[in-house]
A and B are shown apart, each in its own frame.
Chain A
Amino acid sequence: MVERITGIPRDQATKAWDAFTSIRANGDMKKVGSIIYAVGWTHHSSGTQTIRTAAMIQLLLGNVGRAGGGVNALRGHSNIQGATDMAGIFDSLPGYLKMPVPADVDLKAYLTRITPKASKPNEWDSFNYWSHTPAFAVSLLKAMYGSAAVKQNDFAFNWLPKIDRTYSWIDIWDGMYTGKIKGMMAFGMNGVMIGPNSNKNINALKKAEFLVVCDIYPEETSEFWRAPGTTAEEMKKIGTTVYRLPGAGFAEKDGTFVNSARWLQWKYAAVPPPGDCKLDQEILARIFMKVREKYQKDGGKFPAPILNVSWSYANPNNPSLAEVAKELNGKAVMEVTDEASKTTIKAGQQLPGFAFLRDDGSTMSGNWIYCGSWTEAGALTQRRGTEDPSGLGVYPNWAWSWPMNRRVLYNRASCDLNGRPWDMRRKQVWWDEAQGKWLGNDVPDFKADSAPKDHMGPFIMNPEGVGRLFVPLGAVADGPFPEHYEPTEGPVINPLHPGQSTNPLAKRFKTDMDKYGTVAGGFNIICTTYRLVEHYHYWTKNNPMNVQLVPEPFVEIPVELAEQLGVRGGEKVKVTSIRASYIANAMVTRRIKPMTVDGKKTFQIGIPIHWGFRGIAEDAGKTSLNLVNALTPTVIDPNANTPEFKGFLVKLEKA
């Protein structure tokens, strides 16, 4: 069945599985296997369940919490981890606190809903660290609203927005297309290129009242009004006011980037922004100051959150990221004492860690997981110690990782039930009976004084303390146990359950521009999209060095398919989905092979995403000016709301 679904010959799949599981041959616990994945897994309408499956495999194999093990995401940008940590997505607050919903009438209701209660299965004790949610949430509110957040007003809880539905990336564009959203501010996000279904995004912008773009190049989003195919008459009718704010590039900004290993690494600006370009924080601050001024003068709907936000930077029009980083770490608002360590933090001092956070308003912290990154000792994120005394690659003094500089999460699981490391040659943490606490070459991700005999589960962020093979209802939108589903646009009927081939909860959209292709409609080739090493998303097409390395867009086609169509490498081909077309050079290759799926020979083609209608090659007339993501479908995973960029249907012909 696996061979039938995946097209991978049985013997080869078995060989891979045997290799991976061989680490536990004869019950040996010393070796470790790692699973490293990227958007090839997540850009699917059942992406979350795929990651769930990887987690289950690693739990079953005992690879979690082990150095060299785990489920590891290769993030697509240098600071995506930072973006999610800092709630760059709509459904969380900084530190992965849940967003309030309208039913959370007050702080108590909110905290009751989102703070898990310990549930101790069988003989396991659980730490249930999310039980400290109130401290994290109140500290966040204190950071946001400062002295205006007091016990009397529920620490200004009701000033937070409450989400009544999903406001994901794709919902935003859909909202703009249907007229519900009036405008957008796009900072370093080329939404027209990202798509999916770029033409819908372009048309959405044509309907918007305003668009503010902050970027380092004139890019497609800010020039949506002259996307190829827009006639002169149409252009005249576009009423969108477009503001282009010249921003700063990565080498012109300081601050922190957070990588896949959760290290916050402070970076320095190499050069100042050129000409009129400004740093992101300056642009946002000045916009905010003007908005606040307007609210002060003219009033407006619900002014309290705007007028009372804490904004005590040295230069309110241009806060330094060092000031912000210190805010994120947090400080004591009033004197705070920690009983366990017998430490007292004076008011105004930076907090040493999230163990000091309180839910009574005596502490503030912009992001509890970053608490400990900028203490009274200074910015630990700036450290560059290259020592690795254990030889495990821990590098404890290089920058600072959350939480509390722990390098491997759940590292209690690297020891057996008695607190003895599974591999004595590679000791991460261990229980020291004499001192009555956990020690380690890494910071123990555990309650320091919890003895092994007390059976506290290593998965301290779960209320039950153990890893989940079966998740509770509501934890994921589409089901407690993973199942194979075909992509929304696919050539194969799911052999496991032909009646429900695709993820039943994958969300589709309902406007006239949301179309979905089928094989019956003539779309018989599987298409996937990806990136090249030589280019970085949508802006290196402006950089001569990158353009030199890979100058023109192309479509990768298997040799057999090319022969069938009579296409030779270098000729132009046209890829068409039910939504749009894409014309580029054919690269005929043996690296992509036809596969036998469900007994049928199926072909897949691949298209790198990097070219659009503005760039060096584009401006020189060397490309068709098409966008790859005009091809991709508006269907998303119900948990992460990630579009299905990696598998959809097209047809292929000579251009």
Chain B
Amino acid sequence: MSERKMLQIQKISGHPGPVPGKGTQREQKLCKLIDTTTCIGCKACEVACVEWNDMPFQTTTFDDTYQTMPDTNWNYWNLIKFNETSNPDGSFQWLMRKHQCMHCAEPGCLAACPADGAIVQYQNGVVDFEQESCIGCQFCVSGCPFNVPKFNPETKKVYKCTLCSDRVGQGLEPACIKACPTGCLHFGTKEDMLMLAEKRAKQLRDISGFRNAGVYDPQNIGGTTVIYVLHDAGNPEKYAGLPSTPRIPISFTVWKDWFKPAGLIGSVMVFAGLILHYVTAGPRRTQPQPPIKEVDGDAPRKEN
């Protein structure tokens, strides 16, 4: 494997100190572009993901929808979510959105994770779970604004889409991209995919009558490796709950980064304070104490 193809680490969860390779040459950021306007909901991408990752077939039940199952699972990482929606102008759309890990630039899962090395973000944008280091606490589930990571109650580990890091590391595209028959999935550098996405969005606005078409690349989490072209970029919620402003709970950012260390230091200071108390004020002795003969060699003071 040439060095060019090796994945360079950017961030590691629960890890003190700098990451290995910090400061080395940055790889290009990857991007998976999903054009919801040309997706036909055929689920070839779902099948490709299951097959590539050797996941077992599951028993599903009829749920009044074409959607394979209600949400992703520990062994089903890629799911087309369907939503029948009526628009204010009276038009009707059957929206289909390929739902999987967004591989955020500022991953909520990584921020929340307390275990050293359980979640690794590579310089190319891939956020990968390393199950050997996972402690099964599921804070990542709370940290993710998209509700992507899913827990396996038997192995007690959490799983999600890997952006086919094993394929990408060898210079191949993810399995879902390869399987898509309509070409609504694109893969390349972030720069190129953004350009492609903006071009498509403009086409939708200018020619196809979708005046609010745009690109979904939420900046409040630094952007995402997975971006969408939406017919209605002002209303991502109607694409089966795509959050318009994905937020990482401050528990895993402000609290974790500032208050936890402060608390620890505070406790240490209490401990130090008690030692200080002992050497200054001294202990509370049982009374009566014997009369003092001397204090540090001085003459005795009046004492009771």
Direct contact of A and B (CB under 8 A): yes
- Residue numbers of A with Cβ under 8 A of B are 533-534, 544-545, 547-552, 554, 569-570, 585-591
**In the complex, what residues of A have CB within 8 A of residue B41's CB?**
533
Report the bound CA distance from A548 to B179 in whole Å: 18
**In the complex, what residues of A have CB within 8 A of residue B61's CB?**
551-552
- Contacts A533-B43, A591-B94 given; does A570 touch B86 at CB 8 Å: no
Whether A551 lies near B42 (C-beta < 8 A) is: no
Report the bound CA distance from A462 to B86 in whole Å: 49
**In the complex, what residues of B have CB within 8 A of residue A585's CB?**
62, 64
Whether A549 lies near B46 (C-beta < 8 A) is: yes
Chain A contact residues, majority secondary structure:
mixed
Whether B64 lies near A569 (C-beta < 8 A) is: yes
- Contacts A533-B41, A533-B42, A591-B94 given; does A545 touch B50 at CB 8 Å: yes
**In the complex, what residues of A have CB within 8 A of residue B303's CB?**
none
Minimum CB distance partner of B64 in chain A: A569
Minimum CB distance partner of B50 in chain A: A545
Report the bound CA distance from A534 to B82 in whole Å: 14
Query: Closest 5 CB pairs between A and B?
Result: A569-B64, A544-B57, A552-B62, A533-B42, A551-B60
Report the bound CA distance from A548 to B51 in whole Å: 13
Whether A550 lies near B63 (C-beta < 8 A) is: no
Q: Mark B37-76, 1 if CB is under 8 A from A, else 0.
A: 0001111001100110000011111111110100000000
At the interface, yes or no: B237 with Cβ under 8 Å from chain A?
A: no
At the interface, yes or no: B166 with Cβ under 8 Å from chain A?
A: no
Shortest CB-to-CB span from B53 to chain A, Å, is 13
- Contacts A534-B43, A587-B65, A591-B94 given; does A548 touch B60 at CB 8 Å: yes
Minimum CB distance partner of A556 in chain B: B66
Q: Mark B94-109, 1 if CB is under 8 A from A, else 0.
A: 1000000000000000
Shortest CB-to-CB span from A336 to chain B, Å, is 44
Minimum CB distance partner of A620 in chain B: B59
At the interface, yes or no: B257 with Cβ under 8 Å from chain A?
A: no
Whether B47 lies near A549 (C-beta < 8 A) is: yes
Other than the given A551-B59, A554-B62, A586-B64, 10 more pairs (CB < 8 A) read: A547-B60, A549-B68, A551-B60, A552-B61, A587-B64, A587-B65, A590-B86, A590-B92, A591-B92, A591-B94
- Residue numbers of B with Cβ under 8 A of A are 40-43, 46-47, 50-51, 57-66, 68, 84, 86, 92, 94
Minimum CB distance partner of B40 in chain A: A533
Whether A590 lies near B84 (C-beta < 8 A) is: yes
Whether A570 lies near B64 (C-beta < 8 A) is: yes
Report the bound CA distance from A533 to B68 in whole Å: 12
Minimum CB distance partner of B68 in chain A: A549
**In the complex, what residues of A have CB within 8 A of residue B62's CB?**
551-552, 554, 570, 585
**In the complex, what residues of A have CB within 8 A of residue B50's CB?**
545
**In the complex, what residues of B have CB within 8 A of residue A550's CB?**
66, 68
- Return the contact of B43 from the options A549, A552, A570, A588 (Cβ within 8 A): A549
**In the complex, what residues of B have CB within 8 A of residue A549's CB?**
43, 46-47, 60, 68
Report the bound CA distance from A301 to B94 in whole Å: 61
Whether A548 lies near B58 (C-beta < 8 A) is: yes
**In the complex, what residues of A have CB within 8 A of residue B42's CB?**
533-534
**In the complex, what residues of B have CB within 8 A of residue A533's CB?**
40-43
Shortest CB-to-CB span from B250 to chain A, Å, is 39
Report the bound CA distance from A549 to B84 in whole Å: 19
Report the bound CA distance from A578 to B62 in whole Å: 28
The 28 sampled A-B contact pairs (Cβ below 8 Å) are: A533-B41, A533-B42, A534-B43, A545-B47, A545-B51, A545-B57, A547-B57, A547-B60, A548-B58, A548-B59, A548-B60, A548-B68, A549-B60, A550-B66, A550-B68, A551-B62, A552-B61, A554-B62, A570-B62, A570-B63, A570-B64, A585-B62, A585-B64, A586-B64, A587-B65, A590-B84, A590-B86, A590-B92
Minimum CB distance partner of B66 in chain A: A550
- Return the contact of B84 from the options A544, A570, A591 (Cβ within 8 A): A591
Report the bound CA distance from A587 to B62 in whole Å: 9
**In the complex, what residues of A have CB within 8 A of residue B65's CB?**
587
Whether B84 lies near A548 (C-beta < 8 A) is: no
Shortest CB-to-CB span from B190 to chain A, Å, is 28
Whether A588 lies near B60 (C-beta < 8 A) is: no
**In the complex, what residues of B have CB within 8 A of residue A545's CB?**
47, 50-51, 57
Q: Of B61, B64, B86, which is in contact with the most chain A CB atoms at under 10 Å from its CB?
A: B64
**In the complex, what residues of A have CB within 8 A of residue B63's CB?**
570
Report the bound CA distance from A589 to B84 in whole Å: 8
Q: Of A533, A534, A549, which is in contact with the most chain B CB atoms at under 10 Å from its CB?
A: A549
Report the bound CA distance from A213 to B66 in whole Å: 33
Report the bound CA distance from A570 to B65 in whole Å: 9
Shortest CB-to-CB span from B125 to chain A, Å, is 29
Report the bound CA distance from A655 to B191 in whole Å: 55
